[in-house]
Amino acid sequence: MKRPFDIYKIPYRISLEKELYEEKEEEKGYTVKKVGNLRKIEVEKEKIIEKEKVKTIPPVFLSSEQEAIDLESVGLKIVGNIFDRVKFLKQRIEELTEAIEERKLMNKKFNEEIEREIAELERILPSISNKEELREFKLNLMMLRMERRKENTNFWKDLVSLKKQLRELIEEYEVESKISKILGDGNGRIQNF
């Protein structure tokens, strides 16, 4: 009797030349019937055939020439990717540092603008005699102060998020650069072991 996993012998590859699917049948269900008043219970097995396509992978045996893997070329690809990753991480760290500085400048600029508007309103406020206009100016002053608080809160949230990303990237960069130093001489060349 053929067991289901006999076809999976290592090494195996997917061959597209043969039919990759075989049909699988399953039996399901039972019905129970009572016949008349006699309390006779009859169990009848109902056969339901369900066809399902199951993907099979036929074994392909490798020759001894194919079994030999050129580890040096694989190693060059891996190390090349590590050095590329280190360069990429360094660029991302620089970009995030610039983004943090830009956000600081934006916050400073927004706060200066809001402070200018507040100072302007406070300068005009004592000269207003109409109660309706005075109320409107005080409301505008309050809105500007609220906007300043909101900007400072958003600045803080953005800064925390950017610094968190920066810390994570610096950690990754340190790990990847240590690995690249172990595998290479720092110039992108593999050391011979």
Where are the domains positioned within the chain? 8-64, 69-183
The number of beta carbons lying within 10 Å of the beta carbon of residue 176 is 19
CA atoms of 165 and 147, how far apart (whole Å): 27
Q: What is the β-pairing status of strands 40-45 and 52-55?
A: unpaired
| C-alpha–C-alpha distance, residues 92 and 101, integer Å | 14
Q: So what's the architecture of 69-183 in CATH?
A: Orthogonal Bundle (1.10)
* Beta strand segments in the chain, E: 21-24, 30-35, 40-45, 52-55
- Residues 33 and 48: their CA atoms lie apart, in Å, by 18
> What pLDDT shows up at residue 16?
47
* Alpha-carbon span 43 to 35, nearest angstrom: 11
Question: Residue holding tokens 């600081």?
Answer: 104
Task: State the average pLDDT for the chain.
Answer: 73
C-alpha–C-alpha distance, residues 97 and 99, integer Å: 5
Q: What whole-number distance in Å separates Cα of residue 12 and Cα of residue 69?
A: 16
Are 55 and 20 in contact by the 8 Å Cβ rule? The answer is yes
Q: What is the pTM of this model?
A: 0.52
Hey, what are 174's tokens?
């340190």
Q: How far apart are the first and last CA of the chain?
A: 51
- What pLDDT score was predicted for residue 189? 52
Positions of the chain with pLDDT under 50: 5-6, 8-30, 32, 39-41, 62-64, 66-68, 71-76, 188, 190, 192-193
Residue type, 114: I
pLDDT at position 81, please? 75
